[in-house]
């Protein structure tokens, strides 16, 4: 019987973020990445979305570890939640390992952490190449271009499966170099007459280095805003990935005392996150920074699909406060960290895989990448297009698709993990859309009303301007209680149902709204 290996995506195929792929050989398994996703408007109140680990944890005795491709939140952010349930070794390069160690300390998991240098994935059916997010930068800032020779060697030795990043498959040509955006930012720094506020991802160490270098060369000082920005800069500097000119960094309260033309603020919030430093500045609610005319705000990041509205609101608010705002749509202030079409083609040519599985992206990205491979001559049976929960099983001579693996999204809300489900989300959406009305009634032991009904409305009507409707609601409640059969035994749930129905019907009739009605039944 031929050996086989199964690639089981638990997240990241068919969506942006939540990246996690299980690789199984017999009963043995490892995971590639363990990322989270930030919630959209359809998940009110939710902090994070993480993969459903249940299938992986069911194999905990033969679950041998997690391999991390790099240190972005959508690839490492869910790791603390996995390690709460299973003590696993985690393999990563030094910078990613340091980011993970810091994250685990926040979750009080550092004692349970087993962090190790990175390793390659060799399987009984051959080598699996998983690119993670990648770009082939011909002139990277650190002078260390991608090792295309090693990819070619792997291709010559024989690659069983290539799993390759699909995010930028719609973009023709090659992805531009980080050096190019540095030159463009230098021109913006040269012409800025006031304060510069630049927002980018806290994990984009090369972009941060370019900003620090530009500021130092122009006699500006820099303040870091956002816990993740402060933490990542400190970690990268300690490991030697980031060079900090002496005296460049200043606490924010000191920086704002300088002349505007000597200030640079390096901030998180490039995705318009409501509580981020940039969003607070745009709302005029930041403790130290008030946006003023003459400020230049640069959003040096790509807007993640789904975040367009929140980023747009922040940009509009910054403009209203008098700032000049540069972002990807109106200026060259960002280059992608993902490979474009010609780079993706090169990866396929270098590795010469027996089978190809597009990863990282919504379905349209995966399909586009599959078509790109087909255009290069890959036969249809060599390109395996799958989404979360559908596995690819590979043997030395065949490959097939196996659907039906358990997968899903687990919602993290505060300290609760998985306790917010569809019912809670539906209630939150109703509260947001139609509000809530509370009806309080007090009964004596004989079932007679001794107080109430008292009615409170939140998000339905403004009580002071709708006193007549409030009185009609009270009358409807009294009428519903009067209509009870005197022989009917007193029952809290039955009374609550009568009250709920009476109020909902009246409010729907008068104002065409369907709020949540909460009867509060007390007995004395």
Q: In sequence order, what DSSP letters do the residues of 103-134 get, joined into one string?
A: HHHHTT-GGG-EEE-----EETTEEEEE--S-
Q: How far apart (Å, rounded) are the C-alpha atoms in residues 7 and 473?
A: 59
Q: How far apart (Å, rounded) are the C-alpha atoms in residues 257 and 26?
A: 63
Q: Output the pLDDT for position 207.
A: 95
28 tagged catalytic: no
Determine the 3-state secondary structure of 326 from DSSP.
Answer: strand
Peptide bond into 176 cis (omega under 30): no
Q: Which residues partner with 129 through β-bridges?
A: 162
Q: Output the pLDDT for position 111.
A: 67
Q: How far apart (Å, rounded) are the C-alpha atoms in residues 480 and 404?
A: 50
381 tagged catalytic: no
Q: How far apart (Å, rounded) are the C-alpha atoms in residues 391 and 23?
A: 9
Give the CA-trace dihedral at 405, 411, 412, 416, to 10 degrees: -100
Q: Catalytic: which of 165, 295, 343, 413?
A: 165
| Positions in the chain whose pLDDT score sits under 50 | none
Q: Give helix 492-511 / helix 467-482 axis angle, nearest 10°.
A: 140
Q: Output the pLDDT for position 120.
A: 67
CA distances from 234 to 99, 224, 288, 344, 444 (A): 10, 11, 22, 33, 65
Reading the block at residue 426, the tokens are 């539906």
Q: How far apart (Å, rounded) are the C-alpha atoms in residues 337 and 133?
A: 7
| Of residues 256, 280, 282, 278, the one with CA closest to residue 269 | 278
Q: Output the pLDDT for position 157.
A: 94
Q: Catalytic: which of 338, 360, 365, 369?
A: 338
Reading the block at residue 145, the tokens are 């271009």
Secondary structure E strands in 46-171: 48-51, 63-67, 89-91, 114-116, 122-123, 126-130, 159-165
Reading the block at residue 144, the tokens are 């260390």
CA distances from 469 to 466, 472, 495, 516 (A): 5, 5, 21, 17
Q: How far apart (Å, rounded) are the C-alpha atoms in residues 179 and 226?
A: 25
Q: Output the pLDDT for position 359.
A: 96
Environment class of residue 98 by beta-carbon count within 10 Å: exposed (0-12), middle (13-18) or buried (19+)? buried
pTM of the model: 0.81
Is the dihedral angle over the CA atoms 300, 304, 305, 311 positive or is it negative?
A: negative
Environment class of residue 219 by beta-carbon count within 10 Å: exposed (0-12), middle (13-18) or buried (19+)? exposed
Query: What contacts 314, CB < 8 A, 6 or more positions away?
Result: 269, 272, 278, 279, 282
């Amino acid at each position: 019987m031929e050996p086989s290996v199964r690639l089981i995506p638990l997240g990241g195929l068919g969506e942006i973020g939540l990246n996690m792929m299980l690789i199984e050989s017999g009963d043995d398994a490892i995971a590639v990445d363990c990322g989270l996703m930030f919630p959209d408007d359809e998940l009110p109140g939710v902090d994070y979305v993480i993969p459903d680990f249940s299938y992986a944890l069911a194999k905990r005795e033969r679950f041998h570890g997690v391999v991390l491709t790099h240190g972005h939140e959508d690839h490492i952010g869910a790791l603390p939640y996995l390690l709460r349930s299973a003590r696993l070794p985690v393999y990563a390069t030094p910078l990613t390992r340091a980011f993970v160690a810091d994250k685990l300390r926040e979750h009080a998991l550092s004692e349970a952490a087993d962090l190790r240098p990175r390793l390659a994935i060799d399987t009984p059916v051959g080598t699996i190449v998983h690119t993670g997010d990648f770009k082939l930068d011909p002139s990277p800032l650190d002078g260390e271009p991608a090792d295309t020779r090693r990819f070619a060697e792997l291709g010559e030795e024989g690659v069983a499966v290539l799993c390759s990043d699909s995010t930028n498959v719609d973009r023709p040509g090659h992805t531009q170099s980080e050096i190019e955006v540095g030159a463009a930012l230098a021109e913006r720094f040269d012409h800025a007459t006031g304060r510069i506020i630049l927002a980018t991802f806290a994990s984009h160490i090369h972009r941060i280095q370019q900003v620090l270098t530009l500021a130092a060369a122009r006699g500006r000082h820099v303040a870091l805003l956002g816990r993740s920005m402060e933490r990542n800069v400190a970690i990268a500097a300690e490991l030697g990935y980031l060079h900090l000119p002496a005296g460049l960094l200043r606490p924010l309260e000191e920086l704002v005392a300088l002349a505007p033309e000597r200030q640079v603020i390096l901030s998180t919030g490039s995705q318009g996150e409501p509580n981020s430093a940039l969003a607070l500045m745009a709302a005029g609610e930041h403790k130290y920074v008030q946006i003023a005319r003459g400020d230049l705000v640069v959003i040096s990041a790509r807007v993640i699909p789904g975040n367009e509205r929140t980023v747009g609101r922040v940009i509009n608010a910054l403009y209203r406060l008098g700032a000049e705002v540069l972002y990807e749509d109106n200026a060259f202030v960002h280059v992608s960290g993902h490979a474009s079409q010609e780079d993706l083609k090169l990866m396929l040519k270098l590795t010469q895989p027996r089978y190809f599985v597009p990863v990282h992206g919504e379905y349209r990205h995966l399909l586009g990448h599959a078509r790109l491979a087909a255009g290069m001559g890959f036969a249809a049976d060599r390109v395996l297009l799958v989404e979360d929960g559908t596995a690819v099983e590979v043997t030395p001579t065949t490959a097939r698709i196996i659907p039906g693996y358990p997968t899903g999204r687990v919602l993290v809300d505060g300290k609760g993990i998985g306790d917010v489900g569809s019912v809670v989300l539906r209630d939150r959406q109703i509260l947001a859309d139609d509000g809530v009305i509370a009806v309080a009634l007090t009964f004596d032991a004989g079932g007679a009303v001794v107080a109430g009904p008292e009615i409170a409305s939140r998000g339905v009507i403004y009580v002071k301007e709708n006193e007549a409707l409030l009185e009609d609601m009270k009358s409807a409640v009294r009428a519903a209680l009067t209509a009870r059969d005197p022989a009917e035994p007193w029952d809290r749930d039955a009374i609550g149902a009568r009250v709920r129905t009476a109020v909902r019907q009246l409010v729907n009739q008068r104002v065409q709204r369907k709020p949540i009605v909460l009867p509060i039944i007390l007995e004395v």
